[in-house]
């Protein structure tokens, strides 16, 4: 049973590897398409599960409210960039340029989470309060993975 920190960090490590793979591909190659699709679905389900488990716990603490709001705001910005990339031609230079922006912003976001947010949360939230959250996160992420396309369709209707 991983802790919430271990579960989120494992996802971040996978996301870093996918970003590297995508950045090392060219044009609309199958490798880029596959890596992008995996990254897109993984990050979407990860962010939703993280907000519903980890950030909901942070926001219950006075000191964690600003931190949680900041991270959720960054999730929205990253989500918008991913949707823009989905609507662009992967073989265009504009796609790669926007991808580099996403890559930079996402790496900044996850580094900030791991270095600052996790450190403070570990100091302030007793293990007894957050025990089992790693499993909750993983379960919620699986549920969210099934909803990614449905949520995308819903947002198009708005």
How does pLDDT run across 138-156, given as a tens digit for each residue?
Answer: 999 999 998 877 766 555 4
- Mean of pLDDT values over 74-88: 95
Q: How confident is the model at residue 155, as a pLDDT?
A: 53
- 105: tokens are 């912003």
Q: How confident is the model at residue 157, as a pLDDT?
A: 46
Indicate yes or no: pTM above 0.75.
yes
The distance of Cα 100 from the centroid of its chain, to the nearest Å, equals 16
Residue range(s) defining the domain that contains residue 89:
4-157
The number of distinct structural domains making up the chain is 1
Contacts of 13 (CB under 8 A, 6+ apart): none
The DSSP output letter for 54 is I
Distance CA 144, CA 149 (A): 10
> What is the CA angle 147-43-28, rounded to 5?
100
The DSSP output letter for 63 is T
């Amino acid at each position: 049973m991983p802790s919430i920190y271990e579960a989120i960090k494992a996802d971040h490590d996978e996301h870093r590897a996918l970003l590297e793979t995508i950045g090392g591909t060219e044009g609309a190659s199958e490798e880029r398409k596959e890596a992008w699709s995996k990254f897109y679905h993984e990050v979407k389900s990860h962010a939703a599960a993280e907000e519903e488990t980890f950030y909901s716990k942070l926001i219950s603490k006075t000191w964690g409210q600003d931190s949680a709001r900041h991270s959720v705001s960054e999730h929205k910005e990253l989500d918008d960039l991913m949707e823009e990339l989905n609507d662009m031609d992967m073989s265009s230079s504009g796609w790669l340029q926007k991808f580099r922006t996403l890559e930079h912003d996402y790496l900044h976001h996850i580094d900030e989470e791991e270095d600052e947010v996790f450190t403070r949360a570990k100091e302030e939230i007793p293990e007894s309060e957050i025990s089992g959250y790693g499993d909750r996160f993983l379960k919620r992420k699986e549920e969210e993975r099934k909803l990614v396309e449905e949520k995308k369709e819903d947002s198009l209707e708005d």
